[in-house]
Amino acid sequence: MSTDPFESIQSVLKAHQDALMAKPNVVGVGIGFRETHGVRTDTVGIVVLVSHKFPAAELSPEALLPTELDGIPVDVQEVGKISAQS
């Protein structure tokens, strides 16, 4: 991996982006700060945007999102429905 942490995260995101976007309820992916109880932390990782967060127990194994990818933390953030604006 690269010595630049953002470059490393971008590389991991690129490798897993299609699989993440194929999961139900996922509306976007990117790089950003993790949130804990709605408060931004200083930890940078892969952010997966979902229209609605569900408890893990309510999700099928195929719908579960990872907590990390190749050592990079993954944060799931609820954003609601996203639609194009004109």
In a domain, 72, yes or no: yes
pLDDT digits (tens, 9 = 90+) for 24-69: 999 999 999 998 888 999 989 999 999 999 998 999 999 999 999 9
- How confident is the model over 59-84, as a mean pLDDT? 90
The reply to whether 15 falls in a domain is: yes
* CA nearest to 44, candidates 73, 4, 2: 73
- The parent domain of residue 49 ranges over 5-78
Between the alpha carbon of residue 77 and those of residues 30, 50, 58, the distances in Å are: 11, 6, 17
- Determine whether 78 is exposed, middle or buried from the number of CB atoms within 10 Å of its CB (0-12, 13-18, 19+): middle
Q: Which residues, other chains included, contact 80 with Cβ-Cβ below 8 Å and sequence gap of 6+?
A: 51, 52
Place 1 in a pLDDT band, splitting at 50, 70 and 90. Answer: very low
The per-residue pLDDT for range 2-14, each reduced to its tens digit, is 567 788 999 999 9
Q: How many domains does the chain have?
A: 1
